Amino acid sequence: MWNAMLLEIETYGHDIYLYEKKHSQKYEFADHYHDIHQIVYALEGTGTVAIEGRQHTISPGRAAIMTPGTVHSIRSESKLTLLVVALADQTFLASELAGRVFQRSRVVSLSAHLDNEIRRLLRTMLFEQARQPEFYTVALSCHLTEICLIFHRTLQTEEPPVDLNYVRAESIRDYIDTYFYDISNLTSDIASKLGISSRHADNIFKEYYHVTPRKYLAEVRIEHSRKQLAETDKDIVTICFEAGYENLSTFYRLFKNATGLSPNKYRQTYNEQFHAEQQMSP
């Protein structure tokens, strides 16, 4: 999951737990993920939530559904107050309704009427959690079921427009992932494949993946080379050739710039660490 960190959520023993999260203006919460399901609802303010690198607006009337392991980040444009529903109730999650709603991470846009209903339900859940009257856990589950039903019906009726730029960005990434070893002129390849200028392709790709196609190609080649150095006994010149580099000196220079080590030193260091771990194993 790249450099994202696991951020554990304290639910204090509750299967369904609500808590408030406040972010100051222009605050950025870096890439992270959780091991628990979440509903993140904006009570006040505006910001963006990046889910697996794709930006979504988060503001009143919009809620983010998060599944465990989803890498995301949050940036507040103004003071942003979020109400989070943390869900660890496996019985609830096993239901068909919850299974459909939490099928994947996404953002739900609500009509004014349904947004008011969601707010009412969340307010009631907060009351139940604070007072903890008899059968309050049953009440929390019932209200959350209503929320999930609203989300499901809203998602069913949505007609999401086709984001042509996203499709293009995905196409570029898939092309690089598949043919990284045989790309000699990325600029002309992309222009020919998509029928757009290389500058436009750079802007589209960077919007969704925060790097240019050329930089992404370099990262894919380096990652492939690292894997080959660590897991095989192939000659370095062979690894260089398989990764798509034109000559060995270029490969050595780019690899050291990316990792801080020469290919030889990288392989040696990896092998030493591997053998040390093997010796420590019972």
pLDDT in tens, 154-208: 998 865 556 788 888 888 998 899 889 888 788 777 877 777 888 888 899 999 8
Residue 1 has pLDDT above 50, yes or no: no
Do 164-276 and 12-157 fall under one CATH topology? no
- pLDDT band at residue 106 under the 50/70/90 scheme: very high
Classify domain 12-157 at the CATH superfamily level: Regulatory protein AraC (2.60.120.280)
Question: To which residue do tokens 């710039």 refer?
Answer: 257
Tens of pLDDT, residue by residue over 11-34, are 888 999 999 999 888 888 888 888
Determine contact, residues 40/84, Cβ cutoff 8 Å. yes
The set of long-range contacts for 118-126, using a CB threshold of 8 Å and a minimum separation of 24, is 118/41, 118/63, 118/147, 118/150, 121/146, 121/147, 122/18, 122/41, 122/83, 122/85, 122/147, 125/16, 125/18, 125/85, 126/18, 126/83
Classify domain 164-276 at the CATH superfamily level: Homeodomain-like (1.10.10.60)
Quick one: tokens of 268?
Answer: 């040696």
Please, what is the average pLDDT of the chain? Answer: 88
Structural domain boundaries in the chain: 12-157, 164-276
pLDDT value of residue 2: 46
pLDDT value of residue 273: 79
Tens of pLDDT, residue by residue over 141-163, are 999 999 999 999 999 886 555 67
Tens of pLDDT, residue by residue over 24-68, are 888 888 888 889 999 999 999 999 998 877 889 999 999 999 999
Question: To which residue do tokens 């894997």 refer?
Answer: 227
Residue 275 has pLDDT above 70, yes or no: no
Tens of pLDDT, residue by residue over 208-248, are 899 999 999 999 999 999 999 998 999 999 999 999 998 89
Question: To which residue do tokens 């000559």 refer?
Answer: 247
Quick one: tokens of 168?
Answer: 């293009």
pLDDT value of residue 162: 61
> Model's pTM, two decimal places?
0.56
Question: To which residue do tokens 């798509």 refer?
Answer: 244
